[in-house]
């Protein structure tokens, strides 16, 4: 099934009228200028800096989070909006960031067993000594699991390692309905498995909730564990035809949790693996002078094995020129996510990181189950927080030498340019999924029946109106068509452009009192479509991949304000008072910025001096009326939300 995404935090409700007699669409005027992105601060430094302030706002933040809104919000959220809708809003922007500096990887002795910085999630921060780490926890990241594997695995003998939970990182911005906000899952997995420990075959994990899991099958085991507890992990290849995996807690043996056959493993190595949710952890692979607790007789720490008995995991590319990013291009529900998953599974040696909101939601699972629209909190808020996370992960990804698949619609030419610029030096390729119109309708219907309506009709029509095919250019080395080839796809695209164009401009925007006047119209006198040059057609067809094919004469001024969208959670939450001495060795990656302290303006006012005093009075009356209606809607929605949040529990 196809799920679509966007790349920047947007927590404003859709600026459309509540009642629309006709479906209308915007023909977007792209901004061709490239604006440098703001510099990012290091996330850990931000946590330290805002530690005191965040604590002071903890209760207020929690109240806002429990209500499903965001801090200082004045307008209600829109319901029934999926991944692709918020991505569509993001792609209408045209801000181009500067290519980020590459993170410098320190050379580590390859004979040492450490946390593998290549085989871990992008939002898992690894210390300089590579023996400890913690996940990002700002905003929506607090919902996400973050996993990491060790550099080496084993295929024989009796081997062990230890893991200690150093801290349960405070996440007071999570709603009280969130089940188990602090959990660690520890165990073993194969090199090709995902970082979601215990959720696929040959991935074995024991969790802090007192559950063991493999292949997403959960069962009671041992006992619960948490902050300051030490879990010992043991694997025994010498017990006959089976391989046994057992655990201990604080030196007390809990028993064997998993058994698998050597025949099923087929000689493949099992690697130490951890999956955390808002917890900082530390490992003892045997590098410590003294263990936390003595291991059972006959077991050897993995660090102390001979080199021939340790199997090295997949190493990352040596340079950016060896890295690859595949940018999916296609309308919602056309099959992009399906292709991305199959391509990643078919090329395990490349270890593709799929960057998409659908992939983010997979990391928000509870007991191995995806969160659905009937979960305890606000679904639309969760989706928007997921898109915030995706935006930050893309920033981090551009600094890391890995292979990526960017799973988004990417139908806007300017959006493609903007997203690919930070990956300069990578092998950048576009993968176009363009099925026949009949197939697209069938897939869309299937997705709607299974997941609900992901994108409103007017947004799909707007995408169709602005959809251009990518071409080989300075930021794309290759373009591949998966279904319809270039010539056939181009013919279909002309039909889509015409279909979207006939739908006309978008409905009037909802009133916004924060900048005085109607959003984007400066008091209602600014017309969205204004062909002022007379001789030029309102819709211009520009060739190349620089922007959308159809452009209105004065459309640009409505949508060039990249900074005109509200960015939520700019209060600088306290992410935990880390022990400064202990955490001082953490890598200071600029890409991990968790600071959202810069609050952009929320819209632009177009001042037209021709406006008459009488028009201004009428406008003010309209403003007051719409403000009153808005407040009434908010009160009604808030009452509904408060009732919703009284029901607490897991999915």
What is the rounded distance in angstroms from the CA atom of residue 145 to the CA atom of residue 150? 17
Cα 106 versus chain centre, distance: 27
Closest listed residue to residue 387, CA positions, set 50, 87, 103:
87
Residue 143 — left, alpha, or beta (φ > 0 → left; ψ -120 to 50 → alpha)? alpha
Question: What CATH number labels 115-150+152-312?
Answer: 2.60.120.920
User: What is each CA distance from 242 to 197, 246, 295, 311, 412, in whole angstroms?
Assistant: 21, 13, 21, 20, 54
Q: Which segments of 487-601 are extended strands (E)? A: 540-541, 550-551
pLDDT score at 178: 86
Compute the distance between CA of residue 409 and CA of residue 431 in angstroms, rounded to an integer. 11
Helix axes 486-502, 457-466, angle to 10 degrees: 130
Residues comprising the chain, all counted: 651
Q: What's the whole-number average pLDDT of the chain?
A: 74
Tokens 């901004």 correspond to what residue? 31
Across the chain, which has 651 residues, the per-10-residue mean pLDDT values are: 40 39 48 38 40 41 40 43 52 51 67 95 95 95 96 98 97 89 98 96 97 96 97 96 97 97 96 98 96 96 96 94 97 94 95 93 84 64 86 94 96 92 96 96 88 78 93 96 95 94 64 43 37 38 44 35 35 38 39 37 36 63 76 63 43 37
Written as six digits, the tokens of 305 are 């094995």
SS3 at position 125: strand
118: helix, strand or coil: strand
Collapsed DSSP state (helix, strand, coil) of residue 312? strand
Q: Going along 154-241, which residue ranges are E strands?
A: 158-168, 183-190, 203-207, 211-214, 217-220, 230-239
What are the C-alpha distances in Å from 205 to residues 156, 251, 486?
19, 18, 46
Give the integer Cα–Cα distance in Å for 431 and 414: 16
Read off the pTM: 0.67
Q: Please, what is the end-to-end C-alpha distance for the chain in angstroms?
A: 21
CB atoms inside a 10 Å sphere around CB 136: 28
- Taking alpha carbons only, the member of 589, 637, 594 closest to residue 9 is 594
Cβ-Cβ contacts under 8 Å for 2 (sequence gap 6 or more): 332, 333, 334, 335, 336, 337, 338, 443, 447, 454
| Cα separation, 403 vs 379, whole angstroms | 31
| pLDDT value for 84 | 53
What is the structure's pLDDT at 616? 66
| Residue given tokens 């209602």 in the structure block | 524
Q: Which of 484, 549, 470 is closest to 335 using CA atoms?
A: 484
CA angle centred on 14, ends 12 and 19, rounded to 5°: 145
Per-residue pLDDT tens for 384-436?
888 889 999 999 999 999 999 999 999 999 999 999 999 999 999 999 999 99
248 contacts 293 by C-beta, under 8 angstroms: yes
Token pair recorded at residue 619? 């406008």
The span from the CA of 199 to the CA of 178, in Å, is 20
Q: What are the boundaries of each domain within the chain?
A: 115-150+152-312
Pairing of strands 158-168, 230-239: antiparallel
Q: What is the pLDDT of residues 265-316, one digit of tens each?
A: 999 999 999 999 999 999 999 999 999 999 999 999 999 999 999 999 999 9
Q: Supply 508's token pair.
A: 């009037």
* φ, ψ for residue 170, nearest 5 deg: -60, 130
Task: Provide the edge-to-edge strand list for the sheet that holds 404-406.
Answer: 353-355, 404-406, 324-329, 427-432, 478-481
Cα–Cα separations (whole angstroms), residue 40 to 98, 133, 144, 473, 590: 12, 21, 21, 28, 6
């Amino acid at each position: 099934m196809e799920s679509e995404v966007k790349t920047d935090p947007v927590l404003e409700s859709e600026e459309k009228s509540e009642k629309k007699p006709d479906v209308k669409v915007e023909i977007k005027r792209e901004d061709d200028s490239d604006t440098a992105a703001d510099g990012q601060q290091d996330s850990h430094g931000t946590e330290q800096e805002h530690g005191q302030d965040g604590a002071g706002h903890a209760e207020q933040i929690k109240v806002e989070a429990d209500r499903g809104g965001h801090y200082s919000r004045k307008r209600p959220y829109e319901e029934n909006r999926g991944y692709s809708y918020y991505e569509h809003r993001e792609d209408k922007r045209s801000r181009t960031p500067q290519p980020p500096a590459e993170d410098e990887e320190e050379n580590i002795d390859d004979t040492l067993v450490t946390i593998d910085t290549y085989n871990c999630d992008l939002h898992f921060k690894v210390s300089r000594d590579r023996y400890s780490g913690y996940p990002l926890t700002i905003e929506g990241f607090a919902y996400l699991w973050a996993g990491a594997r060790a550099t080496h695995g084993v295929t024989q003998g009796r081997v062990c390692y230890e893991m200690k939970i150093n801290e349960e990182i405070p996440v007071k911005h999570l709603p009280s309905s969130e089940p188990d906000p602090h959990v660690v899952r520890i165990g073993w997995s194969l090199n090709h498995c995902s970082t979601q420990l215990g959720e696929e075959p040959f991935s074995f994990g024991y969790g802090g909730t007192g559950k063991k899991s493999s292949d997403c099958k959960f069962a009671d085991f041992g006992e619960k564990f948490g902050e300051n507890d030490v879990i010992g992990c043991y694997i025994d290849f010498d017990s006959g035809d089976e391989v046994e995996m057992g655990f201990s807690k604080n030196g007390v043996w809990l028993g064997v949790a998993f058994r698998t056959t050597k025949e099923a493993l087929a000689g493949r190595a099992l690697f130490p693996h951890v999956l955390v949710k808002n917890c900082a952890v530390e490992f003892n692979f045997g590098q410590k002078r003294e263990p936390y607790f003595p291991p059972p007789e006959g077991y050897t720490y993995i660090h102390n094995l001979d080199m021939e008995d340790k199997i090295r995991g997949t190493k990352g590319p040596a340079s950016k020129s060896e890295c690859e990013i595949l940018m999916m291009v296609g309308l919602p529900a056309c099959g992009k996510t399906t292709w991305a998953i199959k391509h990643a599974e078919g090329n395990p040696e490349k270890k593709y990181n799929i960057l998409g909101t659908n992939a983010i939601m997979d990391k928000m699972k509870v007991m191995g189950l995806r969160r659905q629209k009937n979960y305890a909190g606000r679904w639309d808020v969760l989706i928007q927080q997921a898109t915030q996370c995706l935006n930050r992960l893309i920033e981090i990804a551009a600094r890391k030498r890995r292979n990526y698949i960017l799973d988004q619609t990417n139908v806007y030419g300017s959006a493609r340019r903007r997203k690919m610029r930070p990956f300069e030096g990578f092998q950048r390729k576009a993968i176009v999924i363009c099925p026949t119109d009949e197939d697209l309708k069938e897939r869309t219907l299937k997705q709607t029946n299974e997941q609900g309506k992901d994108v409103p009709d007017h947004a799909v029509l707007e995408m169709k109106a602005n959809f251009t095919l990518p071409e080989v250019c300075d930021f794309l080395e290759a373009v591949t068509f998966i279904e319809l080839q270039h010539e056939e796809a181009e013919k279909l695209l002309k039909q889509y452009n015409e279909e979207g164009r006939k739908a006309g401009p978008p409905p009037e925007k909802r009133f916004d009192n924060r900048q005085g006047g109607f959003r984007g119209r400066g008091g209602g006198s600014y017309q969205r479509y204004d062909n002022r040059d007379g001789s030029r057609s309102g819709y211009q067809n520009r060739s190349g991949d620089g922007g959308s094919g159809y452009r209105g004469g004065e459309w640009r001024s409505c949508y060039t304000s990249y900074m005109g969208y509200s960015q939520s959670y700019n209060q600088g939450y306290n992410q935990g008072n880390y022990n400064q001495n202990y955490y001082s060795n953490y890598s200071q990656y600029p890409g991990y910025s968790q600071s959202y302290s810069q609050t952009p303006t929320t819209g632009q006012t177009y001042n037209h001096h021709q406006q008459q005093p009488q028009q201004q009075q009428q406008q003010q009356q309209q403003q007051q009326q719409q403000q009153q209606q808005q407040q009434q809607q908010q009160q009604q929605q808030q009452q509904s939300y408060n009732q919703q949040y009284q029901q607490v529990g897991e999915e």
